Amino acid sequence: MRVTHYLRDAYDSLISSAKNTPLFIWIYLSFLVYMTRKITFRFGFTSKTKRVNGRFVVINSAEEVILESVLDTNKIDATFESVGGLEEQKRILTEHVKWPFIHSEMFGANSLRSYPKGVLLHGPPGTGKTLLVRALAKELNCTFINVKTDLLFSRWLGETEKNCAAVFSLAEKLSPTIIFIDEIDSLLGCRNSLDDGSRNHAKTIFMTSWDGITGIQGKVVVVGATNRLNSIDEAIRRRLPLQIEVPRPDPDTRKSILDILLRQDIKSTSEREAMLNYVVAKTDGYTGSDLSELCKAAALLTLREISDGGKFPDLGKRHFDEAFKRIKPSC
């Protein structure tokens, strides 16, 4: 009874003190608690739980920064089937990346069949390197981290190194994961005397963290893309042993790309075939991106001829002839 009486008195005293405490004190204490949580999380003393792509993961402050680069694969509309041409490149990615991800029991134990260490796609701008990687992520239905250089580098001492390490620690937590670095030469280019010490140290941390995920069962692969192959640091290229060229499309590839682009606007197979042959003959030197812009320009020109009833005219050669004047090969 004495214990119960003591607890009741303590409770009543606490309630009385709370009622007599000025409001500004409670506001101050609440703000103090809030800032304490923010500061301890910011400097890595605490962590938080967040929902990412349908699962809950515990992350630190650096990993929260990298979360901005995580894409929802459900919102990626590209698949290998929707990528025109590049059949050899798709086959290589299927054999070296897709198979190890899907048939994990066949890889890892045998040293000759191991998880891919890294993949480098190289070729002129606009040839579909990024599209290929997005389609690969969609095929695998895995986490896709599109690394953004501006998020990695920070003006605060030590933050860049933490962010570089966080790319891989987050990838492991969200595995299977593709870490994609577009224009990898801008992030991991050849070292020179103009680089400051922090940037070189960040590269070292990046490579060390990369080596740390090699061979784990978490299925994490790094894919880089560049149009300046010789500008990439040699140490990085050794970590990207599978190097796939993505060249400008040849006539057959251009026809395949155009067929996908025009499928919705020219329903008739015979009419589309005639249009494909006409456009292919006039697009030597065009990349996949150029062809996409060309078709958009031609489709836009049909708006000039909309009838009073609102019916779109058929996409014809005259529209492409005008579009050719506006859209030239980009390189």
Nearest Cα to Cα of residue 174 among 141, 223, 126: 141
Q: What is residue 320's predicted lDDT score, i.e. its pLDDT?
A: 93
Q: Cβ distance 313 to 300 under 8 Å?
A: no
Q: Cβ distance 316 to 305 under 8 Å?
A: no
Q: Cβ distance 69 to 50 under 8 Å?
A: no
Q: Cβ distance 153 to 160 under 8 Å?
A: yes
**Which residues, given as ranges, of the chain have pLDDT below 70?**
1-3, 5-7, 9-12, 14, 17-19, 24-26, 28-29, 33-34, 36-38, 40-46, 108-111, 191-198, 214-218, 307-310
Q: What is residue 108's predicted lDDT score, i.e. its pLDDT?
A: 64
Question: How many whole angstroms separate alpha carbon 248 and alpha carbon 325?
Answer: 21
Q: Cβ distance 224 to 118 under 8 Å?
A: yes
104-120 burial, b at 16+ Cβ within 10 Å, e below that, comes to eeebeeeeeeebbbbbb
Question: How many whole angstroms separate alpha carbon 241 and alpha carbon 239?
Answer: 6
Question: How many whole angstroms separate alpha carbon 103 and alpha carbon 124?
Answer: 33
pLDDT tens sequence across 174-218: 888 999 999 888 888 776 655 666 677 778 888 888 888 755 555
Entry field: residues in the chain: 331
- Sheet of strand 242-245, all strands in order from the earlier edge strand to the far edge: 70-71, 143-146, 177-182, 220-226, 118-122, 242-245
State both tokens at 176. Answer: 């299977």
Question: How many whole angstroms separate alpha carbon 255 and alpha carbon 234?
Answer: 37
Residue 112: what are its φ and ψ, rounded to 5°? -85, -15
Q: What is residue 42's predicted lDDT score, i.e. its pLDDT?
A: 62
Ordered domains of the chain (ranges, CATH): 2-42 (no CATH), 48-245 (3.40.50.300), 251-326 (1.10.8.60)
Q: Cβ distance 225 to 129 under 8 Å?
A: yes
Q: What is residue 212's predicted lDDT score, i.e. its pLDDT?
A: 80
Question: How many whole angstroms separate alpha carbon 165 and alpha carbon 144?
Answer: 17
Q: What is residue 218's predicted lDDT score, i.e. its pLDDT?
A: 58
- The single-letter code of the amino acid at 250 is D
186-201 burial, b at 16+ Cβ within 10 Å, e below that, comes to ebbbeeeeeeeebeee
Q: What is residue 50's predicted lDDT score, i.e. its pLDDT?
A: 80
